[in-house]
Amino acid sequence: MVQTRKVKAFGPDVGTDRRKPIIEIRNVVKAFGAGVRAVDDVSLDIGEGEFFALLGPSGCGKTTLLRMLAGFEVPTSGDIMIAGERMEGVNPNRRPVNMVFQSYAVFPHMNVERNVGYGLRVTGVAEAEIKTRVAEALSLVKLGEFGKRMPNQLSGGQRQRVALARALVKHPKVLLLDEPLSALDAKLREAMQLELVRLQKTVGITFVIVTHDQDEALSMANRIAVMEKGKVRQVAPPADLYEFPNSRFVADFIGKMNLFEGRVSGVQNGNLQIDIKGLDRVAVPFTGSASGNIAIAIRPEKVKLGQTDPGGDNVRLRGRVTELAYYGNESHVYLENQTGMPISVNLKNATRTTLPSISIGDELWMSWAPTDTLVLTE
């Protein structure tokens, strides 16, 4: 396991999935007016049965991409195929996908049962079948008792589950979810994350979820596409995305990252030699080609703190503690080296003690293994 990870580290990760694709997005562009390209030349394959997340900062085009899959927006150019069929000119009501809206859009004038049955009723399914399928869908989302309630008599979480049941009852090939958990409070959100993963496993339908919450994407999805300004920057499984981001943007957007800008000065024994201001020359294993300005990066939890120089081939630097933040399970230490470069380090609070072993103003050594160092050319 560790071995394959290491190998991946040195080769570019294209994030392929060997499953049969159910959604194929080919060079899709969506322009609003002249200047704005909400989605800019996106190509993606989403496999059957995947739990796929579209992740990115606000305004990066996630919703627009999802709405093009649902059929509410028409691509300016490019192709979308769902289940092997081209979706050009196919109206939303004829697509084999269903959507859970950010606002849930549970019809306020219908009770829960009629909401869930709506999609079957409008397509002429027999009443008897509607009844059994609605009951099935409601028990799937654990709302069996709530069939006769009106939406305004439900909590936010329950309303959201009605929206889920209403989409799932249609047995779509793909379920699209636009920030389905953003309106819920933190505790409920975590519960619903687990619930959604359980549901997806049960029904086996492909889920495509939009979120700007990286924790949500990392914990739920089996693959994540990170978007920035309409472009997909990286597609990879959560762990790869976290450990092997392919660009400064992804590295910085997923989790916390210490970034050091530097210049390549040469290659020695398969190790890239990089000059970084404020650090000694750093040598890190790297197989790609790199020259000129690049960055190296290290996750805060991979940095060790110590009173003495750890020596060896560790990457190391000295700094002074400027800030301490306690989070219960871990503590975040913020340091600064001589040149004023900020570095953050996360320490697990693995033993039960309230005595701070580190205090502000301490001069400490930071070090990490060269193999934990990321080289970012983009």
Partner 1 sequence: MEDWRKNKLVFWILYLPPTAWLVLFFTIPLAIVWVYSFGERGPLGQTEIAISFANYIRSMEWTNLYIILKSIWIATVTTAICLLIGFPLAMGIAFASARYRNVLLLLVILPFWTNLLVRTYAWIAILRTNGHVNWFLEWVHGLLAGVFGLLGMPDVLGTFEPLQLLYNQKAVIIGLVYVNLPFVVLPLYATLEKLDKSFLEASLDLGAGQWRTLFSVTAPLAWPGIVTAAMLCFILSLGTYLTPDLLGGPDSVMIGNLIAQQFGPSRDWPFGSALSFLLMYVTFILLWIRAFAARGEKGKLH
Among 3, 58, 132, 152, indicate the residue that binds partner 1 (CB under 8 A). Answer: 152
32 binds ligand ATP (CB under 6 A): yes
Among 40, 52, 63, 87, indicate the residue that binds ligand ATP (CB under 6 A). Answer: 63
CB atoms within 10 A of CB 77: 11
Stretch near Mg ion under the rule CB under 5 A, chosen from 19-27, 61-69, 161-169, 270-278 = 61-69
- Residue 103 Cβ vs partner 1, minimum distance, rounded to whole Å: 5
372 and 298 Cβ atoms separated by less than 8 Å: yes
Stretch near ligand ATP under the rule CB under 6 A, chosen from 57-65, 135-143, 235-243, 358-366 = 57-65
Among candidates 294, 290, 271, which has minimal Cα distance to 282? 271
Site for partner 1 in 60-79 (CB under 8 A): 70, 72
214 binds ligand ATP (CB under 6 A): no
127 binds partner 1 (CB under 8 A): no
Nearer to Mg ion, 63 or 373 (CB): 63
- Residue 144 Cβ vs partner 1, minimum distance, rounded to whole Å: 21
208 and 177 Cβ atoms separated by less than 8 Å: yes
Stretch near ligand ATP under the rule CB under 6 A, chosen from 59-67, 113-121, 140-148, 300-308 = 59-67
Residue identified by tokens 């399928």 is: 133
21 touches, from partner 1, Mg ion, ligand ATP, none (C-beta below 5 to 8 Å by class): none
Q: Mask of contacts with partner 1, 163-202, x by CB under 8 A? A: ---xx--x--------------------------------
Stretch near Mg ion under the rule CB under 5 A, chosen from 57-65, 151-159, 270-278, 370-378 = 57-65
For 181-185, the CB contacts below 8 A with 24+ separation are 181/211, 181/213, 181/216, 182/102, 182/211, 182/213, 183/102, 183/103, 183/104, 183/156, 184/156, 184/157, 184/160
Residue type, 196: L
Tokens of 299: 């996750």
Nearer to ligand ATP, 179 or 240 (CB): 179
- Residue 245 Cβ vs ligand ATP, minimum distance, rounded to whole Å: 19
68 and 80 Cβ atoms separated by less than 8 Å: yes
- Residue 114 Cβ vs partner 1, minimum distance, rounded to whole Å: 10
Nearer to Mg ion, 63 or 160 (CB): 63
Nearer to ligand ATP, 68 or 167 (CB): 68
Site for partner 1 in 101-120 (CB under 8 A): 101-103, 105, 107-109, 118-119
- Residue 58 Cβ vs ligand ATP, minimum distance, rounded to whole Å: 3
262 touches, from partner 1, Mg ion, ligand ATP, none (C-beta below 5 to 8 Å by class): none
63 binds Mg ion (CB under 5 A): yes
Total residues at interface with ligand ATP (CB under 6 A)? 12
How far is it, in rounded angstroms, from Cα 242 to Cα 236?
A: 9
How far is it, in rounded angstroms, from Cα 120 to Cα 109?
A: 17
Gyration radius of the chain's alpha carbons? 25
Q: Which residues bind partner 1 (CB under 8 A)?
A: 70, 72, 91-94, 97-99, 101-103, 105, 107-109, 118-119, 122-123, 150, 152, 166-167, 170
- Residues in contact with Mg ion by CB under 5 A are 63
Binding site for ligand ATP (CB under 6 A): 32, 36, 38, 56, 58-64, 212
